[in-house]
């Protein structure tokens, strides 16, 4: 991230969700996403400019698909008894506001870098409903466990962790350390839903350049099996792994998808 500035990729993916929200056949509804955008991006979005290439359309679809898959994952975990939802690298994730009924009796917290968290807090004051708790950290520099303990998230309760659109920006060591810090604070049966980008495809080169230009270079790309190698020493099993083609077939059968994107569920054993 550019020091002191809110994450631009967080705004970019919110922009894709805002575009998705405008589609009649959209795979999700996120009326809050547009608030993350500045005036120029809103104009670009309204003009349709943001989807002017097939490439952007595929990326938009895959960002929406992973969000929808994690929506469904979270709702299933809560229905199965998770009493807490912890959203890591939350950006402009609006689940706390999009699902007020399902999350009524659930403790929800968002964790993010300070600059993004501060902007989110400012923008979301207008959003109706109960705001989540807010924790700040840098996954690459700090022990997440310390931040969780400081904020009263240290007990091992049944928890659904969402970690969307973040692993690709971290070195493998930080992914492993974050999963390690979470592990003793998650009761057995807790789940971590997250996504990643598989190693290079031709299309992938485009995103590498895009995110490097906005100060958030790709640091990790791997497949679910590579994730499991980082997670299993901390007591996680891989129980779901879906690539974008599978998610597309489930939620948006007629739309081309980005080939590198995947979603996984790790279960604390
Ligand atoms: C692509 S955005 C995803 C945001 C959100 N999860 C979503 O899907 O809309 C990446 C997020 O990860 C956060 N992030 C990236 N690297 C981080 C780090 N080292 N420490 C804390 N947060 C980080 C950014 O602040 C940003 O909110």
* Every domain of the chain and the residues it spans: 8-268
Backbone angles phi, psi at 251, to 5 degrees: -110, -25
What span, in angstroms and rounded, lies between the C-alpha atoms of 3 and 9? 14
Q: Ligand 1: which atom is nearest the Cα of residue 92?
A: 9
Structure tokens at 202: 């031709």
Report the predicted TM-score, pTM, of the whole model to 2 decimal places.
0.95
CATH dotted code for 8-268? 3.40.50.150
State the average pLDDT over residues 217-227: 94
Q: For residue 47, name the pLDDT band (cuts at 50, 70, 90).
A: confident
Share of the chain above pLDDT 90, in %: 77
pLDDT of residue 37: 87
Q: Ligand 1: which atom is nearest the Cα of residue 174?
A: 19
Is 129 exposed, middle or buried, given 0-12, 13-18 or 19+ CB atoms closer than 10 A?
middle
> What is the CA(165)–ligand 1 centre distance, in A?
7
In three-state secondary structure terms, 218 is coil
H/E segment holding residue 52: none
State the average pLDDT over residues 51-77: 90
Q: Do residues 111 and 85 lie in contact, with contact meaning Cβ atoms separated by under 8 Å?
A: no
pLDDT of residue 2: 66
Q: How many CB atoms lie within 10 A of CB 187?
A: 15
Q: For residue 57, name the pLDDT band (cuts at 50, 70, 90).
A: confident
Ligand 1 pocket test, candidate residues 6, 7, 16, 36, most atoms within 8 A of CB: 7
> What is the CA(140)–ligand 1 centre distance, in A?
11
Nearest CA to ligand 1 atom 14: 89
- The CA-to-CA distance between both ends of the chain, in Å, stands at 34
pLDDT at 163 > cutoff 80: yes
pLDDT at 102 > cutoff 80: yes
pLDDT at 83 > cutoff 90: yes
pLDDT of residue 203: 57
């Amino acid at each position: 991230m550019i020091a002191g500035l809110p994450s631009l990729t967080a705004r970019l993916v919110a922009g894709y969700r805002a575009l998705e929200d405008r589609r009649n056949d959209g795979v999700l509804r996120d009326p809050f996403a547009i608030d993350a955008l500045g005036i120029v991006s809103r104009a670009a979005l309204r003009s349709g400019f943001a989807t002017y290439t097939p490439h952007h359309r595929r990326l938009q679809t895959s960002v929406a698909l992973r969000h929808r898959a994690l929506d469904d994952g979270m709702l299933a975990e809560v229905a199965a008894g998770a009493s807490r939802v912890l959203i890591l690298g939350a950006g402009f994730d609006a689940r706390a506001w999009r699902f007020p009924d399902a999350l009524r009796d659930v403790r929800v917290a968002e964790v993010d870098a300070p600059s993004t968290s501060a902007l989110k807090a400012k923008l979301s004051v207008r959003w109706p409903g109960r705001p989540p708790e807010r924790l700040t950290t840098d996954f690459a520099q700090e022990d997440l466990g310390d931040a969780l303990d400081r904020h009263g998230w240290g007990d091992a309760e049944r928890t659904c962790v969402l970690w969307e659109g973040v692993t690709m920006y971290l070195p493998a060591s930080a992914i492993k350390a974050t999963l390690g810090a979470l592990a003793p604070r998650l009761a057995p049966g807790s789940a971590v839903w997250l996504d990643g980008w598989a190693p290079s495809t031709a299309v992938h080169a485009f995103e590498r350049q895009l995110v490097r230009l906005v100060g958030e270079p790709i640091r990790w790309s791997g497949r679910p099996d590579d994730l499991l190698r980082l997670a299993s020493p901390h007591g996680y099993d891989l129980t779901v792994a879906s690539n974008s083609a599978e998610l597309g077939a489930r939620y948006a059968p007629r739309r081309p998808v980005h080939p590198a994107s995947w979603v996984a569920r790790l279960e604390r054993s």
